[in-house]
Amino acid sequence: MSKLFDKEQFDKDGYAIIPDFLTEEEIQSLRSECWDIVEDMKPDEHCPSVFTTTDPDKHISNDYFISSGDKIRFFFEEGAIDEKGKLLVDKQKSLNKIGHALHTLSPPFRKVTFSEKVKNVVRHLELEDPVVCQSMYIFKQPGIGGEVSPHQDSTFLKTDPMKLYGLWIALEDATLENGCLWFIPGSHKNGLYGERRMIRNADAGPGKPHTIFTGKNTSYNEDDFIPGQVKKGTCVIIHGEVVHKSNNNKSDKSRHIYTFHVYDSKDTVYSKDNWLQPTEALPFPHLYTYQ
C-alpha cells in the first residue's frame, strides 16, 4: 500500500492533510446530491432546528437532534431564521449542516465513505475493525457561517479506550477568510481537557434538555492554534482528542465539506451515554465489510 500520509507526523500532531483525495467528479457528485437533498427539503418541517456550538442548548434540547443518528436531518444557521422560525434567506443558503446518516442513506455519500481510498487511510491508521458512527455535510454559508468553538471530537463520541477519528473532506477551498480548520498540534496527548463530555440526559423530559455537558469547559491560548488552509478535494484526518476549531465565515464564499467519524470497534467500548447511539434501523456499519 502506498503511503497516504506520514503516520509518525500524525501521531505527533494529531492531524494529517492528504491533498487531492477526491477527484473533481467525486466532489461534484457529492455537491449535486446535497443540492438535490436540500431542494427536496420542506423548511417548515424542520425549522427552527438551529445548530450552534457556542450555545448548544439551541439544538440539543429537542428530540429532532438526538434522534437524527439514523436519518437525514437539517440544521439551520442562526442568521437564516427569524424569531418566528421562518427563513430569511434562500433555503440553499440557510443550512449549517445536514446529519447524521448520509453515509448509508445517500448513495453518492455511501460510495465515497466506503471507498477503497477511505479504507486505505483507515488501515494506515492501524484500525482493525472500524465502524462509521456518523456523517455530516457542513456548509459554512457566506456571511452567516457560524463559528465552531475549540473542541475535541471525543467530547461528543467517547470510546474506551479512545479510538475515534474524523475524516474531513473539503468540497471547496477552505481559507482563512471562509472558515478553515485551526489545530493545536500535539493537544491530543492529554486526554479530554477538563473531562469535558456531552452526554444523554437521564432526566430528559418536558422542558428538560436531551443532553447535558459534564466536566469543565477549557480555555485555550489562541496563539497555539495553527491554520489548516486546504484546497478542495483535500482530506484532513483528525484525531478524536486533538483540539480544533473554525472561525465565522464573513466572506462571500461558502466552505462546503463532508465529514464522518469512525472508531475502532476491536476491543473498544462505545459509551452508552454518548448522545449518538446505534439503532435497530442503523447499527454502526463496519467500514471494511459494509455492502
For 151-201, what is each residue's pLDDT tens digit? 999 999 999 999 999 999 999 999 999 999 999 999 999 999 999 999 999
Domains of the chain, by residue range, sit at 7-270
pLDDT at 54: 47
How is residue 153 annotated by DSSP?
G
> In terms of pLDDT, which residue wins out, 52 or 246?
246
pLDDT band for 47, please (50, 70, 90 cuts): low
**Residue 57 above 90 pLDDT?**
no
Query: Where does the pLDDT of residue 128 fall: very low under 50, low under 70, confident under 90, or very high at 90 and above?
Result: very high
Q: Which residues pair with 100 in a beta bridge?
A: 72, 135
Please give the full DSSP string across 39-85, using - where no structure is assigned. HH--GGGTTT-B--SSSTHHHHSSHHHHT-TTSEEEEE-GGGB-TTS
What is the predicted pLDDT for the residue at 255? 97
225: region left, alpha or beta (phi > 0 left; psi from -120 to 50 alpha): beta
Helix (H, G, I), strand (E, B) or coil at 36: helix
- pLDDT score recorded for residue 64: 87
| Model confidence at 206: pLDDT above 90 | no
Q: Decide: helix, strand or coil at residue 291.
A: coil
Rg of the chain on CA atoms, in Å: 18
Is domain 7-270 given the CATH code 2.160.20.10 in the classification? no
Query: In the prediction, which pLDDT does 44 show?
Result: 79
pTM to 2 decimal places:
0.93
In whole angstroms, give the CA distance from residue 101 to residue 99: 6
Residue 40, pLDDT above cutoff 90: yes
Residue 59 confidence (pLDDT): 47
Dist. CA 53–CA 146, nearest whole Å: 9
Q: How sure is the predictor about 86, in pLDDT bands with cuts at 50, 70 and 90? A: confident
Task: Give me the pLDDT at residue 140, please.
Answer: 96
Burial class (CB in 10 A: 0-12, 13-18, 19+), 8: exposed
Residue located via cell numbers 437532534? 65
Confidence at residue 3, expressed as pLDDT on a 0 to 100 scale? 59
- Cβ atoms 200, 66 nearer than 8 A: yes
Q: What is the DSSP letter of 219?
A: P
pLDDT greater than 60 at residue 52: no
Pair 88, 58: CB distance under 8 Å = no
**The pLDDT of residue 88:** 87
Q: Can you tell me the distance from the alpha carbon of 259 to that of 135, in angstroms, rounded to the nearest whole number?
A: 6
Mean predicted confidence (pLDDT) in 60-64: 68
Q: What are the backbone dihedrals phi and psi of residue 89, each rounded to the nearest 5 degrees, phi first?
A: -135, 170
> For the chain, what percent of residues have pLDDT higher than 70?
94
Give CA torsion, residues 144, 67, 48, 105, to 10 deg.
60
Cell reading at 25: 467528479
What pLDDT, on the 0 to 100 scale, is given for residue 203? 86
Q: Are 132 and 228 spatial neighbours (Cβ–Cβ below 8 Å)?
A: no
Find the largest Cα–Cα distance for the chain: 55
In this predicted structure, what is the pLDDT of residue 84?
76
* Grid cell listed for 50: 438551529
Preceding peptide of 130 cis, ω within 30°: no
- The C-alpha atoms of residue 132 and residue 164 are separated, in whole angstroms, by 10
pLDDT of residue 77: 86
Residue 68 pLDDT more than 90? yes
Is the model's pLDDT at 58 over the cut of 90?
no
Average the pLDDT over 20-38 and give the result. 98
pLDDT of residue 2 exceeding 50, the answer is no
- Write down the mean pLDDT value for the chain: 92
